[in-house]
Each structure stands twice: as C-alpha cells, then as structure tokens.
Structure 1
C-alpha cells in the first residue's frame, strides 16, 4: 500500500468511528427548541445560549431551532431559523397579514390571536417545528424544548422522537401577580386573554414523557399549577458561565451604586419595591444611583413611579447591551439587588454573585436556593427591608467584601455549565433514550 492509499485508509477509519462525548460514549445529535430566543428578550434566550454552548463543549452535535428574534449562538452550534410573522416587531400588526399568509392556517391564526390580544407564538412555533421535524427528525437523537410547551411537541413525541421539555417555572405565577396588580376590569380581561396559552401548556406538560425544571421551588409550582406529579419532574439546576461572569480587580467601584436586572413594568420582578427603597435611602445617601438592566416603557407605571418619588436623576435604565458590557456594569457597581417577588431560578442573582458582588435578594421563589447564605435575604415585597439591608452594606466595607467572596465561591462550587452538560447527558442517556429503546422492543 502506497503512502497515499495509507493516508486515505486512515481517513476512512476515522470517519467510520463515532464521535465521542466527554463521557467517552458516542456523541448525541441534539435539537434544542426556542420560540423566541434572543438573550435580550429574557432569561429563556440566555438559557438557550449557554445550554447549547455547554452541550457542544461536552462533545455533542447541537442545532437550535428558533423563531425570531433569533438567538446568539457560539460557533459550532447550528441555527435553523423558523420564521414567524414576528408581529411584535411590526408597527401596524392589523395590516401585517398578506394574501400569501391566508394559505397557511398557522400564519392566519398567529395574526388573529395578536390583533385580539392573545399570544400565539408558542402554539404556532410548535406547529411549524412539528412539520419541519416530520421531515428532518431522523437527523436527531432527541429534541429538548425550552418552555414552548406546545401541542406540536406531542406530535413529535408520538412519531417516536424522544422529547424533553425544560419548564423554568409555570407562567401561571406571572398571571397571578399581574392580575393582583391590576384593578381595571378591562385590563384584567386582556391579561387573561394574553395568557390563554397556559391552558395548552398545562395539558402538554401533563402528557410529555420527560419534563425537567431548574429548582425545587419550580418543581413544586409545576406540580401545583400544571398537575403533574412531583415524582415525574426531574431537577437539573441552571448554570452560570464563571469564565465570563467574574470579578474584575481593575474595575473602579462607583460609591453608593446599586444594580439590578428587571423588566420595568413586570410586577413579578418587584422593581417598585426597590424604587421605594431608593426613596427611603436617598436622604441618607444623596449620591445613591441605581442601574436597571432593562427597558423603561414610556408612560408606563415605572416611569410614573420614578416621577412621583423624584428619582428620575438617580435611576438609569440600560438595555440591549452585550454580555461583556453587562459584566463591566456589575463590576462597576457596589451592591446588587434582586427585588423579585418570584423567580423560578434567579439567573440575575447568580450572575451578580459570580462577578463578586455583595447581594441583597428577596426570598421570592427559588432565589434562596441560588444564593444560600452568601447574600442578605429580605422578605419579598418589603421596601423597608431592602433599604435596611442596602444601608448595612453601604456602611460596612468589610461585610461587603466578605459577602462578595462568599458569593463568588458559592457560584464556582455549586453552579457551572459544565456540570449542567454532564447531568443532562446522563439524563438523556439513562432516562430518555433507554426508556424509548425499551418501549420500542415491547
């Protein structure tokens, strides 16, 4: 055999051998789903970015199917765009329906839902994905859904492709808090109409063979709201990218500066209580400043509250920034605050802690599971308690440093994406693929 033939033989052998994952077993072909997945949209986009990155680093082949706005993915992760009408990016949704759309029930339904106050994207995304995977599903070993929870998942599962869904927390909690904060009956009807997709999600969660969540709090809430037994909900915590979110020893801290991540007019995030705490603190700390990673809605409740509390010059909203810019903002701040009334996991808390910030956090939802004893805990919805905790950290530099060190250590030791990838790989192999193989041989 000449040298050229020998080289070709080596190539043929290498191509014949299966790619191996970090656990020494054949790599999996994983399809991740997200109906809208840009990180600026919210925590689900962040989860999809880091999950796909971690699974790729573990050695798997990973594709993401997403509707717009599309995710930011690392090189090596495939993106399959699943276009929708994207009506939330259209100035006049009423005029967005074209004659060509009328040929598609999915497009027409999405348009009709939008103009009647509904939110159909999970449902219509599920229909489009089910149609796509009917043709291309053989390319994957499994499908992992990121809280779409649409009827289409049951179609995919019925055709024999293993499906698992991550439920971060039941959106039922968001609905309850929004209804509690709204007094006008007309607006309450609109809120209920918007959340009508929850009826679908509840039924789908009950019928899926594999469901995971990210905290014990979410596990119990899913059981209560979606009526799936706790024993049928598996727990795999989120991770924090500690290589990206980390302390910067060269950063200059701004005195009396706070930072939080919050959707301005979402009652769930509890921003109103942090603003009220700011109002209580300002007479004692005239230079106090708050950076809110989020968008301020013109004319919204938060803007009105800022004016009423005379805090317009002390609170700054920043949105659409890169991850690197976010890390820089964390490192320039003196104290982080998470005022949420409820969190299914508490990613902002974990990211701030990874950056070595002393943290004041409520006891809402799963936040205590994330922060442990490495933060000052206050009751959810208590502005005075937030103010008192922040004041203690402003006045005690040594305490700030102690909490900052504990925060970073806790995230490094307890939460990392490499651990998530390893746990999920084990789950895929033992819970999903083994179960499906056993069913196939019955």
Structure 2
C-alpha cells in the first residue's frame, strides 16, 4: 500500500465542504466560551473535544473559557475553567440530597429526574449556564455549546448571545441501537425513559441558528433525525493531537496484543462483536491478548459474555489513565480494533492512526471518513470479519508497517487540531458577520 493513496477517500469531501482558511494575521483574537455539561475526557468523545478544541483555539491566539458541569474537563493551563457544579448524582447517589439543595429549583429537577430514571443533566446545566451568562457573559464574542441542546441554549440565543452548537451525532442512533439490544420490555422502558431528553433536543435543534458537526455522516444523520436540511449544518472535522498521539519507536511491541477503546457496556460500541472475534482468534493464536480501555459494569452483559466465551485470562482492562499512558498502550499494540456499530467521528481510530498503529475498523457511522484506505474496514456487527482482518495483520508485518505509515500521514494532513481550530475560527467569523445563513426558525 502506498501512503499517498490513504488520502484519497477524504479529499473530495474536504474539497467540497472546507471553508477557505483565513490567514492568521487577518483574524482578530476572539473571546470564546465553550460549554460542556459533563466534560471529563474519560467519559467519552465530548470531553476529548472540549480538551483539544479549547487548547487549539488558545494556540490560534484566542482567549478561551470552558464552562463545565461535573465531572470537570482536563484543560490546558492557558484555558480558564469555570466550574458550574450540579448535584453530580451519578457519583454521589440519590442519598446526597440535603436541605440546602431544596433552595434551588434546578437541583430539585435534577434530583427528581434521576429518581425517575431520566437523564436531565443537559437541561439542568442549560438552566445554570443561562443564569450565569445572562449576568456575567456579555464580554464573550462567541458562546459555543457542546451538544447540550437544552432550553437554556435557546434562551441565550433569544437574548442575543452569538451561539454556536456542535452536535457530534444524533443520540437517536444510540437509542435505537440500545433498544435493539434490549432483552425484555422492562429494559426497553428504562432505555426510553433515560433517553427522554431527546424530545427537548429535537425541538431545540430545529430552532438553533448556527449548528456545526464533525463528519459528513453525522451531517446527514442529524438532518434526518432532527428534521433539518443538511445545508443548515456546517462541517468542521475533529482533530487529533499529533504531538501527544505519535509513534514511539522506543516502545517495544507486545506480540499478539490487540487493543480497543470503548465503553464496554454500551451496545453502540460493538464490544460484543469484538469479544466474539477474540474468542475465534484465540483458537489460531494461543498467545493472543486484548487490552481494553474501559471498565465493564460488574455483573453486566459484557462481563457475562467474557465468562461465557472463557476470555477472562485474555483481557486486560484499564481505565482512568493519562493521555501519555494511553499513547503508550497504543504503541505496545500490534493492532487496534474499532468495533463500533456507530460513531459520529471515531476519535480512537484517529488516535491509533496518529500513533502509527494499524487499525481494523467497522464501517459504522463516520468511521470510513476517518480511516479511509489507511486501515482495514469491515462491516459493522460482523465478528467473523473482524477476526479475519485482525489475523491478516497479525500474519503480515509488511502490511502492518505500510498501514502504520499511511495512517500517521492521513491524520497529520487531514485531521489535526490546528486545522480544526482554523476552520472553526472561520466559522465563528461567519457567524459574527451574519453570513452563515443557517437560521432554522
């Protein structure tokens, strides 16, 4: 495989949708407030987005505040973190309610929502943010919401705040995949209750003036799920920090080590199909081991499947690790597998490629846009296809080397955060000049 060919899959897309990048000297430094209702990077892609976009915007010369609920993000020292604490009931539990909490209607909403099985953090965060920014936020040039999509965001927009909203992908896809994986009516009822916040998000999304997303696939899916026109959704691809995620030649590869980064109990992430593939591969490769970044729920479906497939001794789980540790784990792996049923972008695929590690990825969601032909793409929900692709790489060191080089080059040229920050700055400028033409009602 020639490294140059790895760029072809994304180039036509970028040529059509990438705005002209304004020279840095022509941009005025902006005062930007990034919002995230929960932003710890261990919790998923939204936290990673906050961390790296804020850093890249600062490096582009802007002043950036991040306003976040718990758990709080990890931000660059040059980024100002404004903590917007809620009740944090997923850590403290329902029993943490005190009399002082009852003085706040937002706290009451959050507590009763959790009590009844709903997910009301976005709604409550939006209430807190609106109250704070109405009083203290007029100095910002741009308020950038990271998929909160709450009534509070519409109130900010109505008050004249220049608001941009990133929607990574429609959570309707998460809901449908979870319902398909449910085994009984009680589970389906709980899943529907948990996702009841989607009613709010659908209504809010239709009335937002400036919506941006992170992949062409998400652009189409958001338009379909939220009844928007694709042309009303702008596109700025995510980036990968190519300094933190980089090849480490000094790190010794662990023979027959494969790696995956996924929420182990989320059906969306396709861990079931990865585990079935590992069980099949173990017959051919007795030394095979899987390092999984993520922790399965005790007694949950993933843990039960591991026991059923007799994989307990083959899997190493790690969680709460630093970015440096994560990059080192990538470097130790011979192959990284992305088994997701759906991804709005696919940050783990980009991270692995940036580290120069061969990738086997499903075609779920936007993953083909990220991986292109710099990795092996297999059908989603197909454990046998995953096993065949992994075996092909384990048996062919030349192919691993070629894919390593192609993957690194693809990320450097198409998906770095510097490029993302430049494109986002252009978009902010269009919003401030009133040139986005994305008013939806």
Question: Given the two structures, how large is their TM-score scaled by the length of structure 1?
Answer: 0.92
In 2, Cα distance between equivalents of 1:22 and 1:258? 41
Bigger drift between 121-130 and 221-230 goes to 221-230
- Corresponding residue number in structure 2 for 1:152: 152
Matches within 5 A, 1:311-330: 311-330=311-330
Q: How does 1:137-286 map to 2 (within 5 A)?
A: 137-286=137-286
Distance of 1:262 and 1:37 partners within structure 2:
17
Q: Which residue of 1 aligns with 2:33?
A: 31
Deviations, residues 169-201 of structure 1 (Å, cap 9, x unaligned): 011100000000002111111110000000101
How far the C-alpha of 1:316 sits from its partner, in A, is 1.1
Equivalent residues of 1:117, 1:193 under 8 A apart = yes
In 2, are the aligned partners of 1:39 and 1:72 still within 8 Å (CA)? Answer: yes
Aligned residue pairs, count: 415
* Cα distance, 1:152 vs structure 2: 0.4
What is the SS of the residue equivalent to 2:76?
coil
Question: Equivalents in 1 of 2:316, 2:45: separation in Å?
Answer: 21
Q: Which digits, 9 at most, give the CA deviation of each residue in 1:131-182, with x for residues without a partner?
A: 0000012120110000111110111111111101000001110000000000
**Residues of 1 paired with 2:297 and 2:170: CA distance?**
25
Q: What aligned pairs does 1:374-385 form with structure 2 within 5 A after superposition?
A: 374-385=374-385
Q: CA offsets, 1:49-96, max 9 Å, x none?
A: 000000000000000000011111111111110010000011x41x22
Q: CA deviation at 1:22?
A: 3.3
- TM-score, scaled to structure 2: 0.93
Task: Please give the residue correspondences for 1:35-434 in structure 2 after superposition, counting only pairs within 5 Å.
Answer: 35-90=37-92, 92-93=93-94, 95-430=95-430, 432-434=431-433
Rounded Cα–Cα distance in structure 2 between residues aligned with 1:435 and 1:403? 43
Residue 14 of structure 2 aligns with which residue? none
Shift of 1:102: 1.7
Moved segments of 4+, more than 4 Å: none
Q: Give the unaligned 5+ runs of structure 2.
A: 1-22
Residues 15-71 of structure 1: CA deviation (Å, up to 9, x unaligned): xxxxxx933332100000000001111110010000000000000000000001111
Query: How far has the Cα of 1:103 moved from its partner?
Result: 1.9
Q: CA deviation at 1:246?
A: 0.4
d(CA) in 2 for partners of 1:126, 1:426: 26
Cα distance in structure 1, aligned partners of 2:140 and 2:67: 12
Q: Which runs of 5+ in 1 are unaligned?
A: 1-20
**Whole-Å Cα distance in 2 between the matches of residues 117 and 437 of structure 1?**
39
Rounded Cα–Cα distance in structure 2 between residues aligned with 1:165 and 1:322: 28
1:338-381 superposed Cα distances (whole Å, 9 cap, x missing partner):
00000000100000000001110000000000001000110000
Asked if 2 retains the 8 angstrom alpha-carbon contact of 1:356 and 1:404, the reply is yes
Could you give the per-residue CA deviations for residues 101-122 of structure 1, whole angstroms, max 9, x where no partner exists?
A: 2221110000000011001000
In structure 2, the residue corresponding to 1:207 is in which secondary structure?
A: coil
Aligned residue for 1:245, secondary structure, equals: coil
**Separation (CA, whole Å) in 1 of partners of 2:98 and 2:313:** 45
Tell me if structure 1 keeps the 8 A contact 2:177–2:267. Answer: yes
Relative to structure 1, is the Cα distance of residues 302 and 22 closer, same or farther in structure 2, using a 3 angstrom cutoff?
Answer: same
Q: Is the 8 A contact 1:35 1:125 kept in 2?
A: yes
Conserved in 2, the CA contact under 8 Å of 1:162 and 1:436?
no
- Aligned partner of residue 211 in structure 2, secondary structure: strand
Take 2:247 and 2:392, find their aligned partners in 1: how far apart are those partners? 22
Residues 9-24 of structure 1: pairs in structure 2 closer than 5 A? 22-24=24-26
CA distance in structure 1 between the partners assigned to 2:337 and 2:375 by the alignment: 10
Higher relative contact order (CA 8 A, sep 6+): 2
